[in-house]
Amino acid sequence: MSQSTLSQQIPDPSWVLDPIIEIGVRHALILSADGIVVGASGSLGRDESEGMAAMVSALHGAARAAAVVSLEAPEETPISTITVQLDACGTLMVMPTGGANAFIAASFSTDVPMNIVAHTLARQAKNLGEALMSIPTRSSGPAS
């Protein structure tokens, strides 16, 4: 699914991002699998969100490669969560949206409970994935 298609399907990403921001995360981002920003929280400027999206996409690629080598996982095995935790700074958590070639990423301080963020990200990723998968990819006009 291309970035333009994702952006067209999510013209207002606030319904996905607002519940994540409300639990106290620092930044939240929706991105395509190839690292293109689809939506970002207001705390991220354009350059920051583009940089974060590119890094999250690269992190996903590195995690997949590491899983294939170290866990002997088949290449097509989906990654459910990527977590980078720095005790002094906080956590970056990334979840796929389930078959839609998109991810939700959130960064948050050590004051925010990881289990709350994980639950909220999983719920929003599921909701977004379902919404994206239910949108018809072709316009269905009247039959002739």
Secondary structure of 58-70 in the HEC alphabet? HHHHHHHHHHHHH
| Token output for 29 | 């981002």
* pLDDT, position 66: 94
Domain 3-134: give its CATH architecture.
2-Layer Sandwich (3.30)
CA 46/CA 84 separation, integer angstroms? 23
Task: Kindly give, in sequence order, each residue whose CB lies less than 8 Å from that of residue 143, ignoring residues fewer than 6 positions away.
Answer: none
Q: What is the tens place of the pLDDT at every residue in 59-106?
A: 999 999 999 999 999 988 889 999 999 999 999 999 999 777 899 999
CA 39/CA 49 separation, integer angstroms? 9
* pLDDT, position 144: 43
* pLDDT, position 3: 47
| Token output for 9 | 């399907």
Helix (H) or strand (E) holding 119: helix 114-134
Q: What mean pLDDT comes out for the span 24-42?
A: 95
pTM for the complete prediction? 0.86
CA 24/CA 113 separation, integer angstroms? 9
CA 20/CA 116 separation, integer angstroms? 10
| Domain ranges (residues) in the chain | 3-134
